[in-house]
Amino acid sequence: MAGEREGITHSLYVRFGIRMMLAVAGAVLLFLVLQSVGRIALDSYFSHSGYARKENYRRLKNLQSYIRENGISIGETDRIGEWVKKQEMVSVQIYEGEVLLYDSDYPEGEELPVLSVTGNYEDYEAYHLIEFRDQTGYVYLRGYYSYQFHMYATIAEIVLCALVMIGAVMAEVHRLIRYICQLDREIQILETGNLEYEITVKGRDELASMARGLEGMRKSLREQMERREEALRLNGKLVTEVSHELRTPLTAIKVYVEVLQGNRNKDSELVFQYLDKISAKVQELNDLADHISGQEGSEDREEESSRLL
């Protein structure tokens, strides 16, 4: 049961799940840090650079040029609305005296609030005099430029965090692929017949289990090859010894046959005497053959038992 739990703990599925959760947690933490730092940096920039003042003046100048070129009167709020729609993150209010005639934050046809001109007219975010075709009016223009930059910064932070998360996961994938390639190279080495090269075992996951299986197979094949080489050596030694053992009785039998062939006097006693000697040598050869057969059978049984083990 403990071994099963250990296998589950080190499973590739579990490892990838843990790596994915860590990557997501790291990406979220990085996003929060970048959001905080980015907000502070942008707020500091807008408060010290005067960007909003310059951009408001630029847009007011653009609005004045638009009114003069098109000869727009202060009551043609629909034409002014066309200009406002082309701008980004801008709110515009137009007053005739102290009466609010147009507010870009309210759709056409909706009742406008009752407001009057207040504040310092010289303030870049307050009211400015604009020359219309028929008269002069007050324009209140405010740009939400920081919101736009914050939005761009947020998009960049999300993309960066996503890349970091993907990079963390791909690093784990790269490690596994590199290990698989290493195992493939080592298997190719084994295929060449080099059984002395050890298989690399890393970790406790499914790949490590496969590597341990390959390593066990390598050791088993190496032991079988060593036993086969030992058997071949013993067989060679046996053939040499058998050849030497056979040579002696065969030589004696040859001598006895030559003696019998040279027995011109047909001495029966001599014939029977040498026939007995030949019979003894033949029996000696038969015993030697039985001994050799017994050794070969014992070696076959040992080889069969080693294969079963």
For residue 227, give the CATH number of its domain.
1.10.287.130
Helices 77-86 and 51-70 cross at an angle (nearest 10°) of 140
User: Position of tokens 């653009």?
Assistant: 62
The number of beta carbons lying within 10 Å of the beta carbon of residue 196 is 9
Domain end call among 122, 143, 164: 143
Domain end call among 143, 161, 176: 143
| Whether 295 and 161 share a structural domain | no
* In a domain? residue 109: yes
| Whether 174 and 159 share a structural domain | yes
Q: What is the domain range of residue 263?
A: 214-308
| Whether 290 and 169 share a structural domain | no
- Please give the model's pTM, rounded to 2 decimal places: 0.56
Q: Cα separation of 189 and 196, whole Å?
A: 10
For residues 98 and 38, is the Cβ–Cβ distance under 8 A?
A: no
Question: Quick one: three-class SS letters along 129-169?
Answer: EEECCCCEEEEEEEECHHHHHHHHHHHHHHHHHHHHHHHHH
* In a domain? residue 302: yes
| Whether 97 and 239 share a structural domain | no
| Whether 43 and 59 share a structural domain | no
Phi-psi region of 89 (alpha: psi -120 to 50; beta: other; left: phi over 0): left
The number of beta carbons lying within 10 Å of the beta carbon of residue 103 is 18
* In a domain? residue 97: yes
pLDDT 10s per residue in the chain (309 long)? 444 444 444 678 888 888 889 999 999 999 999 999 999 998 888 888 888 888 888 899 999 999 999 999 988 888 998 999 888 788 898 888 778 888 888 766 555 555 544 444 444 456 788 999 888 888 988 888 888 888 999 999 999 999 999 998 899 889 888 988 988 898 888 888 888 888 888 888 888 888 888 888 888 888 888 888 888 888 777 777 777 777 777 777 777 777 766 665 666 676 677 677 777 777 777 777 777 666 655 555 455 544 434
| Whether 167 and 283 share a structural domain | no
* In a domain? residue 194: no
Whole-number Cα distances in Å, 34 to 23, 29, 165: 16, 9, 15
Nearest alpha-carbon partner for 90 in 118, 57, 131, 68: 57
